[in-house]
Amino acid sequence: MREIVSTADAPSSPLYSQGVKAGGLVHIAGQAGIDVSHGGLAGPTIQEQTRQALANCRAVLRAAGAAWEDIAEVGVLLHNPADFAGMNEEYATWFPTSPPTRYVAKLGVDLPGVLVSIRMTAIIG
């Protein structure tokens, strides 16, 4: 059985769920660096967009009843692989110790201004 997770504190779309709880896991959909307070990107830099994407993921995790420490896996998609170091700079501040597993790949679609999309899976219950 699955339960849809949603929150006004993260970007949403009628085309996908922000999160889904199923089988003791919560799966968070890819989150771009969109700030819901104004509906636009958090800024033009990879650090700003990474920070906002992670904050959006955290908002969905909270709505699912999960904690940051419950994250098991993170997937990062970069528009430009040259942004890897800048993304890592911000990412490291969110996971200073005992980080979850992670993969990084190239973002397959070209969305105007979007530099990063981050998804994650957490263990709940």
pLDDT value of residue 75: 98
Percent helix, strand, coil in the chain (nearest 5)?
A: 30, 35, 35
Average pLDDT, rounded, for the chain: 96
* Distance between CA atoms of residues 34 and 73, nearest Å: 21
Section 10-16 average pLDDT = 95
Section 98-118 average pLDDT = 95
* pLDDT band at 26; cut points 50, 70, 90: very high
Q: Where are the domains of the chain?
A: 2-123
Contacts by 109-115, CB closer than 8 A, 24 or more apart: 110/79, 111/32, 111/79, 113/41, 113/44, 114/32, 114/33, 114/41, 114/49, 114/79, 115/33, 115/45, 115/46, 115/49, 115/50, 115/78, 115/79, 115/80, 115/83
pLDDT value of residue 109: 87
* pLDDT tens-digit readout, 34-86: 999 999 999 999 999 999 999 999 999 999 999 999 999 999 999 999 999 99
pLDDT value of residue 125: 74
| CB hemisphere CA count around 124 (13 angstroms) | 21
**CATH number for the domain formed by residue range(s) 2-123:** 3.30.1330.40
